[in-house]
Amino acid sequence: MHFDGVGEAGDRVRIPESITLVVGLGISGRAICRHLARQGIPFMVADTRQEPPGLSAFREAHPGVAVHCGPLTALDLAPAKEIVLSPGVDPSTPGLEGLVDRCHPTTGEPLLVGEIALFVRTCHAPIAAITGSNAKSTVTTLLGEMAREAGVRVAVGGNLGTPALDLLVEKPDAELFVLELSSFQLETTPWLGAEAAAFLNLSEDHLDRHRDMAGYRAAKLGIFRGARHGVTNAEDPMTWPETPLPAQDRFTTRAPQAGEWGIARRDGEDWLMHDEVPLMPAQALRLAGRHNQANALAALAMGKRLGLPLDIMTAVLERFPGLPHRGETVAVLDGVRWINDSKGTNVGATLAAIAGLGPTLEGRLVLLAGGVGKGADFTPLAAPLARYAREAVLFGADAERLEAAFHGEVAVTRVTDLEAAMWRARQVARPGDCVLLSPACASLDQFADYRARGEAFRDWVKRQRREVMHGG
């Protein structure tokens, strides 16, 4: 099919009725195109950017496929067989207005869908789906590890790692698909039909896309469309479905009510529980903090629904260190746990890390923070630091602003860079303490990105561990 492009000024190019239009040439958009090509479905592509990255490579991979670059208002999209939207493209983009709720006049199916809708049509194995403002990558990875350890042929991806449509090719014999799904993906998924679906939490995010929290929540609730089992946060009613599901579990960091997954004291220590049944001591988790205990409970609830053995799931929890740079336990040195949360690039993320770790420690926190604060208000960190921290060691461009925010609430030491901060933490931390790198700032004053900052932390801690082991 040839596409002649935009005609004379004022003209709109009409999309042929037999054509599927893919909007957006990002990672997911290219995965959509590969899928349509494999299915033998005629398609063309539109991208609002005049020169989207990877365009030349796309043309080589899909010779003869028409590409429109520029405003969507230059196209008459209504006749298209279907419009498949990449998650990075806002459904309210000029040219797409009114199409979200429109159905195809012949098939009655929604005219505008996303990549996950295509995935659902082709997938013939059960789906476990996870969403939430925070921790969805951790729970997705955990559940995938549990299934793999149980001998299940599992494919893990979606918003995390491999696009869902590519998993169909990479793991054609998969018995289970474990997908992390974002609000952007869910808002264009008319029906998911997950065997198990989890909505972990909801906090302010992506309001530039969803307009308000109600819109953001509505998009997230799409994970429950057709779900046979739901997992929700007992402490966050915003995660609860608006209509009953065939089966539902709730998790909490408190003592569980009837049927819930929670945490309770038994014989002087905290245990992960299901109803009144003890599952494992909370301290046996390699993942640190109350927030990660909640993540473990969510994964256990989903795993039970999927038929995974409890002993295998708890064994995975005992060794899983966390995702790189996201609350990752690097080592324990002289009784002090060192945690890499370099992805904590804003106040909210660091607040969650402090609040999650603080109540679980025998000792105190030593916080390493600093970098480029982007004008953020650091004062919300002061009260939890006063409650849980031994000291805040501050470095980087906004160390002075951080110190001013913490003044009078917690002991503060200012240093030049992260290495100096780690040496200071090594001096002041005591057995039972936790050294937490959760900077509440971007890293670009001293590092290429948060990953480079986290790698520097990890490498330094591992060198210290080697020296301890060899008596250096």
Among the listed residues 115, 151, 123, 156, the one whose alpha carbon sits nearest the alpha carbon of residue 139: 156
Q: 425 near 337, Cβ under 8 Å?
A: no
Alpha carbons 403 and 141: distance in angstroms, whole number: 36
Tell me what percent of the chain is helix, strand and coil, each rounded to the nearest 5.
Answer: 35, 20, 45
| CA dist list (Å): 106 to 82, 114, 293, 451 | 11, 20, 49, 49
| Total residue length of the chain | 472
Alpha carbons 48 and 25: distance in angstroms, whole number: 9
Q: 114 near 84, Cβ under 8 Å?
A: yes
Catalytic residue among 104, 134, 206, 462: 206
The pair phi, psi for residue 152, each rounded to 5°, is -85, 135
Alpha carbons 83 and 44: distance in angstroms, whole number: 10
Catalytic residue among 35, 68, 81, 136: 136
Alpha carbons 305 and 320: distance in angstroms, whole number: 21
**Tokens 């299915």 appear where?**
39
Among the listed residues 109, 104, 93, 100, the one whose alpha carbon sits nearest the alpha carbon of residue 17: 104
Name the amino acid, one letter, at 224: F
List Cβ neighbours of 328 (8 Å cut-off, separation of 6 or more): 321, 322, 339, 340, 341, 454, 458
Q: 88 near 24, Cβ under 8 Å?
A: yes
Catalytic residue among 68, 159, 210, 304: 159
Assigned token pair, 253: 């960091």
Neighbours of 423 (CB within 10 A): 13
Catalytic site includes residue 62 = no
- Residue 392: CA atoms inside 13 Å, Cβ hemisphere, count? 32
Catalytic site includes residue 81 = no
Catalytic site includes residue 171 = no
Helix (H) or strand (E) holding 338: strand 336-340
Kindly list the catalytic residues: 136, 159, 206
